[in-house]
Amino acid sequence: MNHPFRCALRLCLTVLPAAVFFMGCGSPDPGPVQAVGRPPVIEPDYSGIEIPPNLAPLNFRLQEKAEAFRIEAEGADGTGFRIRGRGRDVILPAGPWRRLLDANRGRDIRFSVTVRDSLGQWLRFDPIVNRVSHDSIDGYLVYRKMPPVCVFWKRLSVVERNLGSFKERVILDNRAMRDGCFNCHTFYGNRTDRWLVHLRGAPSTAMLLTVDGRTRLMRTQTESVPAAAAYASWHPDGRTLAFANMKVRQFFHTAGPNRDVYDLTSDLAVCRIDSAVVAAPPEIADPARLETYPAWAPDGKALYFCSAPAYDTTGFFERHTYRTIKYDLMKASHDPVTGGFGRPVTVLAAAKTGLSATHPRVSPDGRFLLFCLCEYGNFSIYRPGTDLYLMDLRTGDFRRLECNSGQSDSYHSWSANGRWFVFSSKRGDGVLARPYFAHVDADGAVSRPFVLPQKDPGLYGSHLYTFNVPELVAEPVRPGRKQILDAALDTQRTLNCRSAGPAAAASVGAGVEEQTWKPAR
Amino acid sequence: MKTRTVKPEPQAKIPSAWPIVRDAAFFTALFLILLLRIDPSLIYHRQSPVFLLAFDFAAGFLNRPGGPFEWLSGLLSQALFSPPAGAALLTAMAWAVSRLTGALIRGLRPPDRFGFIHLVPAALLTGLHACYTVPLSADLGLLAVLAAAAAFVRVRPKWAPRLAACFIISLVLYYLAAGFFLLFTLLCVLIEAVHAKRPASGAVMTAAAVLIPTAARRFFILDPAGAWLSLLDFKRTDTAGAISLLLAAFFPALVLLLHPVMRRRPLLPERFRIRSPRVRFILQTAALAVLAAAAAVFPIEKSNRLLLTVDKMARFRQWERILNLASKEARPPLTVTFQANRALYHSGRLLDDLFTLPQPFGPSGLALPRKFSESAPLQESDFCWDLGSIDESRHWALEALSTDGETPWILKRLSLAHFVLGDTAAAVVCLNRMDRGLFLRGDAAAIRRMLSDSAAAAGDPAVLHGRAVIGRTGFIAFNGHPPAELDSLLRDHPDNRMALEYRVATDLLAGRLKDLPDFVRAFRALDYPRIPRHVEEALVLRWALSGEKDPPPEMRVVAPETVRRFGEFNRVLGRHRGDRAAAGADLQASFGGTYWYYAFTRQAAGRRAQAPSSENRGSR
């Protein structure tokens, strides 16, 4: 290498980065600083929250008249970092952020914010104080990203987000799937070796099922279970699925909350995936009732679900019958050996609350049941009054959580350790759902929720896509997206389930070891 | 192989300025055709190209092959909003295509100038834009292919550099232009196999072309067809698909035509060959002119152009212009009738002149039937806004967001709907999005002013209208806005004139006359200066059909002239003694624009078409 070139390279490698560094830190040192006497307003609101120690930086935008800012982040142990910048967007450095969280597990961290206003005056705000949790959160969040639509779904994707960074990975995109719809991705125990997603319309109406990292279409519709599967739940044995099968109808109001949904019919069914046998046991498929939202208890010995009496469809709209459909929270015992169900018992009656119960999810330790209560019906994401409730299964006591808002707070998922849950909330604007996280301690106390952090702190303020069906998983989704897409498009290899028949319906698939499951390689 | 020898041509040359003048005239003609005949603003209206200066917007394009050109196409397409700028842009694209075609031809070393052939793709490209549906990414893809091919033929003619060039350029081209890379590979293969006589090299290039999309599926979410053919319009079965295919086939054909063997073979028999270069030049130019005119004019489907024109006028609320256009159509498409009826209402003439325009039997020309509204959700949103279903207007705008993306009009409609419905935070999200648009900041600022200044909001006609008619009690929205929905709107706001007039028009079109007295009372309550003409005509008809001798009370509002004209109508009808066909011709001449004539023809048609239909069964 000749000498002038070496000099130029040295200049590039040393002087320029230094220049850039000093330019970046170039805001003048604050002279006299005026105390404001309150914490700064920031968006998203990351103040007074509990943070998982493995979460990406909580970038935020100052909602103050700021031309420049200085942030001092400091942990209780004295470690921390300082940043300066212009404008209002505060982008926290990933490395120091991780070190700060690591060093302060179980302790508070403080963010001291000083800003320079348009007159050149420096203003110091009271610090923002957050707490770093001892409990980690699962490494990934999988959600559906789409415009807030009801009829057409042209830009629909299932996205995996690395919670330790800002990396997003598209798992499924319906533009590559003939604009078909898909919904309710469901993972087995926060893992990704077994999971499913329901496809609708195109490429086919079936369940896209992944078992041990291999994916294949499975059609659960049979004579006894005519409708396609929805709202599935994995039994802890990893081989049995409970799901709802219903005829859904959507309609629109011209005033107030616009969208509405009701089920004409709805039953639960059970599918044994290794033998591809489907059954609708009468205990959970009562023609006189509408059963939906199954959720297994972690020990597999009970199935929680929601159930409402079937109704008369005469004058359904004129008499506002849809407003009277309210779901009870139910539980049916289950014998994992025989596969049989016991008579369902009411866990929480709609008559008691005056509200409709949806989306029961039991915490992994079996202690808590997280569910929604809404005004009526079962499509709680469309009802602005939907709130999250937590029931202590040891005592049966339940309470409305403090993390609720005036808008719909719905569709939740537990972390593998049961100390965090994520839920969809429309609190931002009433239209677009965003994923919020909250911590639950051993006594069921729930922390103030916070929204999924983004690299661009202004993203939620100008992003017209809704994030729904958030599911926490501990590992990246498997298999690769090419294999998933190929399996979704390979309708020829769809595995058609067969009906268990009336005799076997009461004990679906118990003892059946017929290996018909041959996933695509 | 024995080749025929051709007599050397005389070397009399044409003046050097002639080709320049011809090319200039050609592109001037293309510009004028684009500006005056095709109208780039209709392409903009049809495609509603979206472009936002936002990272997440760009990221949505960069994650798939062809995305970069789609992003660039979105940016460039903003120029189509202005007809002169759009025509200039499309002409520039056509010029660039012709220049690069010329460069490719020169690279293949033809014996002399190859006539006007380099202008043919430009004419075809213009023809493609006359279909209104082809995005600028097609132009960009073609330009990239031609630039790459022109570069490729200039690479040292050894197999190794050519292979390397083909592979590297294919990779880049695949990411930028997706399926267009296939055309480049095909050209490379032909050049190598036919011109350079290296079929093995061509085979390796073919293998690379197979390999690249296959490998891409590991990195991008692509179905097999998408991996190979995305951005290509060959899959289409319409005119655009045919022209695309022709355009794509042109270049391989050109490469074959320029092969030394083919070059020596005369295209025409000896006796048809024109010796004089000047005559040949003039004939070529004439052929070119015919080709350009045909390519630019032939693909335009009249009904498609009419539909786009009317739809664009409706978007800008140019009601009189719509009525002018619609009145010239004997059998307009249903969607044109729909917009024309909307224009009649906004001009205050719906119930006076409804039957002066061709109407389908039944109310399907008043409100779009379900399958139409699903294919045009934004138009349905506009209509719902006019009608007073603001919630439904927002719902359809959200559906349009899914089908068409974040177009300026959708963002504006959403922000206004959110604002009127009181969802200010949602409106702000839309406004923040509009701030990222190239030409939307002004609109966003105006709406933002309304958020903070109630006086500004009170001065905006759209907001004023929205607030005046916003639903109070709420009811279930039905498909196609049936009478029950209009009744519900009227119950909420008895002063909702559009709901009232559409309710009356629905009944008139359906031949239901029983509620007319109620409508007369409603007109009086709303201080209509007079009863609309068609309502008067329907009242007279209702009285006549009732068989009553004495006129019912509501007949007091009917002008005597209307009664007299009805008598005349009956006399004409009676003259023909049951010959309905002959009576129809006579009646149309004198009463073609009356409700009586509509009722007469509707009865003649045996009430065949009461259900909404897409067919254009006009009453005239």
How high does pLDDT run on average in chain A? 90
Q: Are A253 and A487 in contact (CB under 8 A)?
A: no
DSSP string, B275-337: --HHHHHHHHHHHHHHHHHHHHHTT--HHHHHHHHHHHHHHTT-HHHHHHHHHT-SS--HHHH
- Average pLDDT on A419-442 reads 96
Angle at A271 between CA A265 and CA A276, to 5 degrees: 125
Condensed to tens digits (0 to 9), the pLDDT of residues B401-448 reads: 999 999 999 999 999 999 999 999 999 999 999 999 988 999 999 999
User: Is A155 within 8 Å of chain B by CB?
Assistant: yes
Interchain contact, B477 vs A251, CB within 8 Å: yes
CA-nearest residue of chain A to B404?
A154
Cβ-defined contact of B429 to A463 (cutoff 8 Å):
yes
**Residue B218 with chain A: CB contacts under 8 Å:** 480, 482
- pLDDT for the residue B263: 63
Write down the domain spans for chain A. Answer: 31-132, 140-493
Task: Kindly indicate the confidence band of residue B473, based on its pLDDT and cuts at 50, 70 and 90.
Answer: confident
Spell out which residues of chain B touch residue A432, defining contact as CB-CB under 8 Å: 426, 429
Task: Please give the Cα distance from A498 to A516 (Å, whole number).
Answer: 11
β-bridge mates for residue A370, sequence order? A361, A390
Rounded mean pLDDT of B270-274?
Answer: 70
List CB contacts (< 8 A) between A428 and chain B: 425, 429
A149 touching B (Cβ < 8 Å): yes
Could you say which of B56, B426, B488 has the minimum Cβ distance to residue A459? Answer: B56
Tell whether A317 is within 8 A of chain B (Cβ): yes
Contact criterion met (CB below 8 Å) for A246 and A477: no
Q: What is the pLDDT of residue B476?
A: 76
A91 near B CB under 8 A? no
Domain ranges of chain B: 17-297, 301-367+498-620
- Minimum distance, in Å, between the CA of residue A494 and any CA atom of chain B: 18
Cβ atoms within 10 Å, residue B335: 21
Q: Is the pLDDT of residue A296 over 50?
A: yes
A152 has a chain B CB within 8 A of its CB? yes
B197 has pLDDT over 80? yes
Do A482 and B217 lie within an 8 Å CB cutoff?
Answer: yes
Note whether A331 and A344 are within 8 A (CB): yes
Residue carrying the six token digits 């590559």: A176
Average pLDDT over residues A34-56: 97
| Distance (Å) from the alpha carbon of A177 to chain B's nearest alpha carbon | 7
The band of B69, judged by pLDDT with boundaries at 50, 70 and 90, is very high
Q: Under an 8 A CB cutoff, do B428 and A431 touch?
A: no
Which tens digit of pLDDT belongs to each residue from A163-206? Answer: 999 999 999 999 899 888 998 999 999 999 999 999 998 889 99
Taking CB atoms and an 8 Å limit, are B221 and A259 in contact across chains? no
Interface of A with B in 171-210 (CB under 8 A): 172-173, 175-178
Q: Which of B405, B423, B435 sits opposite A430 (nearest CB)?
A: B423
B395 in A contact zone (CB under 8 Å): yes
B433 CB within 8 Å of a chain A CB: yes
- Within an 8 Å CB–CB cutoff, is residue B245 touching chain A? no
Dihedral of the alpha carbons of B402, B407, B408, B410, in degrees to the nearest 10? -20
Determine whether the interchain pair B222/A176 forms a contact, defined as Cβ–Cβ distance below 8 Å: yes
Q: What DSSP state is assigned to residue A315?
A: T
| Interface predicted TM-score (ipTM) of this complex, two decimals | 0.88
Q: Mean pLDDT in chain B?
A: 88
Mean pLDDT of A81-105: 96
Q: What share of chain A has pLDDT > 70, as a percent?
A: 90
> Which residues of chain B neighbour A172 with C-beta distances below 8 Å?
221
Q: Can you tell me the distance from the alpha carbon of B72 to that of B138, in angstroms, rounded to the nearest whole number?
A: 11
Do A464 and B474 make contact, defined as CB atoms within 8 angstroms? no
Q: What's the CA gap between A306 and A292, in Å, rounded? A: 5
The predicted-structure confidence for A156-165, as pLDDT tens digits, reads as follows 999 999 999 9
SS3 A423: strand
Query: For residue B239, what pLDDT is reported?
Result: 86
pLDDT at A494 > cutoff 90: yes
Q: Which CA distances in Å does A348 have to A286, B32, B78, B274, B537?
A: 18, 74, 57, 95, 63
Question: Region A282-290: what's the mean pLDDT?
Answer: 96
Contact A152 B55 (CB under 8 A): no
- The answer to whether the Cβ–Cβ distance between A485 and B223 falls below 8 Å is yes
The size of the A-B interface in CB pairs under 8 A is 127
Residue of chain B whose alpha carbon sits nearest to that of A258 = B391
Query: How large a percentage of chain B has pLDDT more than 70?
Result: 92
Residue of A nearest to B393 (CA): A254
Are A462 and B432 a contacting pair at CB < 8 A? yes
Of B223, B405, B475, the CB nearest to A176: B223
pLDDT tens per residue across span B117-176: 899 999 999 999 999 999 999 999 999 999 999 999 999 888 899 999 999 999 999 999
Q: Is B423–A429 a contact, with Cβ atoms under 8 angstroms apart?
A: yes
Please report where in the chains the tokens 């169900």 appear, as a residue: A341
- Whether residue B226 lies within 8 A of chain A, CB to CB, comes out as yes
The answer to whether the Cβ–Cβ distance between B426 and A258 falls below 8 Å is no
C-alpha distance from A281 to closest chain B C-alpha (Å): 36
SS (H, E, C) A349-384: CHHHHCCEEEEEEECCCCCEEEEEEECCCCCHHHCC
pLDDT band at B462 (very low <50, low <70, confident <90, very high): very high
B217 touches chain A (CB under 8 A): yes
% residues pLDDT > 90 (chain B): 65
Structure-block tokens of residue A165 = 């960074």
Count of CB atoms situated within 10 Å of the CB of B138? 23
Q: Do A173 and B224 touch (CB under 8 A)?
A: no
Cα dist. B55→A87, A164, A454, B46, B178 in Å? 18, 21, 13, 26, 22
- pLDDT, mean of residues B308-318: 96
**What average pLDDT does the segment A316-342 reach?**
93
Among B224, B402, B477, select the one facing A152 at the smallest CB separation.
B402
Would you call B391 an interface residue with chain A, using a CB distance cutoff of 8 Å?
Answer: yes
Nearest to B223 among A152, A252, A489 (CB): A489
Q: Which residues of A328-355 are buried (b: 16+ CB within 10 A; e: fewer)?
A: bbbbbebeeeebbbeebeebbebeeeeb
Ramachandran class of B348: left when φ > 0, alpha when ψ lies in -120 to 50, beta otherwise: left
B432 contacts chain A (CB < 8 A): yes
Alpha helices of A210-359 — where are they, by DSSP H?
350-353
Greater pLDDT, B252 or A506: B252
Name the architecture of domain A31-132. Sandwich (2.60)
B373 Cβ neighbours under 8 A, 6+ residues apart: B379, B380, B396, B479, B480
Q: Which of residues 408-427 of B touch A (CB under 8 A)?
A: 414, 418, 423, 425-426
> Which CATH fold would you assign to the domain A140-493?
Neuraminidase (2.120.10)
Q: Please, which residues 333-372 of chain A have a Cβ atom closer than 8 Å to chain B?
A: none
Confidence grade of residue A407 (pLDDT, cut at 50, 70, 90): very high
pLDDT band for B616, please (50, 70, 90 cuts): very low
**Which residues on chain B are in Cβ contact (under 8 Å) with A155?**
402, 405
How close is the nearest chain A Cα to the Cα of B432, in Å? 5
Position A8 scores a pLDDT of 54
Distance from CA of B406 to the nearest CA of A (A): 9
| Selected residue of B61, B392, B398 to mutate for chain A interface (largest A Cβ count, 10 A) | B398
Question: Which residue of B221, B404, B412, B421 is the best one to mutate when testing the A interface, meaning the one whose CB has the most A CBs within 10 A?
Answer: B221
A153 chain-B contacts, CB cut-off 8 A: 402
**Angle at the Cα of A116 (from A115 to A118), degrees rounded to 5?**
135
Nearest to B391 among A154, A253, A428 (CB): A253
**Angle at the Cα of A507 from the Cα atoms of A503 and A512, rounded to 5 degrees:** 95
Q: Which residue of A has its CA nearest to B476?
A: A253
Using the predicted structure, report yes or no on whether residue A138 has a pLDDT greater than 50: yes
Asked if residues A192 and A475 have their Cβ atoms less than 8 Å apart, the reply is: yes
Model confidence at A213: pLDDT above 90: no
Cβ pair B398:A482 closer than 8 A: no
Please tell me which of the candidates A253, A462, A481 has its beta carbon nearest to residue B476: A253
Give the closest residue to A379 by CA, choosing from A259, A498, A499.
A259
